[in-house]
Chain A
Amino acid sequence: MRFENKAGANSGVNECAGKAAQDVEMDEALRDFRLSVCAWSEAAISRPRAAVAMRRSRNWQLATALALGCVLIAGGVSGGIYKHLHRQLAAGWEQHPQEAPITVARAVEPDRPSAVQRNQPAREEEEDLLASVDSDVSQQVPAVMEPLAQLMAGDETRQE
């Protein structure tokens, strides 16, 4: 009975020792896993990357500046060429006016009556109407204003 108990106790001890060994193995594996992740993250977080970022941003700045410079130069050159050509054309038209596009307009111009000419009769009619109204008003001067009207008439005759 005692022997059996001893044997049972021994097997229990062995089982516990086995479990402990397994747990130790598992614990070691998990501890190594943690250490590995920590080492990797520390190496990754402290890796140099600022210099690369700076270089990239500088490259972008350089590219942008270059593009803007090209646009400005192209604009300046094309503006200069346009002005030069325009002057040349103007000089050519001065020497040969018949070639200038404005001569077409000049040729057509005499056929059309100007706006002033078209409105001439209407203006004359209006002036006549105003003159007749003035004379009517001047004739209807009230009796009280008669001396003043005579004086004005006298002044007008003197000036004439």
Chain B
Amino acid sequence: MRNTTKTVNLQPARASTRVMAAGTALEPIIMATAEKIAAEEFTAVVTEHRPRIFRFLLSLTRDVDLAETLTQECFLKAHRNWASFRGESSAMTWLMRIAINLQKDYWRNRRMQFWRQTQTHAVDLDDASEWLPSGERSAEQILLARERVGQVWKAVEKLSQRQQTVFLLRYVEEMELKEIAQATSLSEGTIKAHLSRAVEKVRAELGVKR
């Protein structure tokens, strides 16, 4: 059920067209076509990954407006640096990396001071756990599930910033350890350690003993 991410890399194509068309009358036309293709590719990337980036930022901030703002900032930054994206990682991992950095900067950034003052916009843990599709469950099961979700939220709130990021990337975004390592610029060993501590804390909150 994991989402497969496509690797989008336009650099080699662009470079080859430039070499082929260099010094010819076709150069401007080919350049324009390449730019058009790049714009279309970027639009496709935005359409495909925006919900995931927004979801990750929402889970990290619990603030819908802030998550939207950070998502916009993320794609603006990605658009500015789209030419420098070399496809070494998947587009999703690259975007996640931008989103994580933006979220880190959000406390320090002067432009975001407004959001600092309106931290009260963050939804309460009880409200956050209200969102649960009923499916084919009984009312009792739904109530139990909501209670459990609320406990997970409580545990997540107590985690450190880094543990939160790693936990949410693993269990909400269902990313592989390698991808998380690429997105957070941490080693896989560090990711495992953070994840293990985070899971232990969630277990403790849930009252599940090992």
User: Which A residues lie at the B interface, using CB under 8 A?
Assistant: 19, 22, 25-26, 28-30, 32-45, 47
Contacts and interface: CB of A to CB of B under 8 A. Distances in A.
A30 B203 CA distance: 10
B133 A39 contact: yes
Given A25-B206, A36-B128, A41 B58 contact: yes
B67 interface: yes
Contacts, number: 73
Contacts of A36: 128-129, 131-132, 149
A32 B64 CA distance: 20
Contact of B206 (A29, A35, A38): A29
Contacts of A37: 55, 58-59, 131, 172
**Chain B interface, >50% SS class:** helix
A30 B171 contact: yes
B145, B153, B209 — most chain A CB neighbours (10 Å): B145
Contact of B208 (A22, A39, A41, A42): A22
Contacts of B132: 32, 35-36, 39
A33 B149 contact: yes
Contacts of B153: 33
Nearest to B71: A45
A158 B133 CA distance: 127
B131, B208, B210 — most chain A CB neighbours (10 Å): B131
Contact of A44 (B58, B149, B174): B58
Contact of A41 (B51, B152, B206, B209): B51
A33 to B, nearest CB: 4
A47 B120 CA distance: 20
A29 B151 contact: yes
Nearest to A49: B68
29 contacts: A22-B208, A22-B209, A25-B206, A26-B199, A26-B206, A28-B148, A29-B149, A29-B151, A29-B208, A30-B202, A32-B148, A33-B153, A33-B172, A34-B171, A34-B172, A36-B128, A36-B149, A37-B131, A39-B133, A41-B55, A41-B59, A43-B131, A44-B54, A44-B58, A44-B67, A44-B68, A45-B51, A45-B54, A47-B64
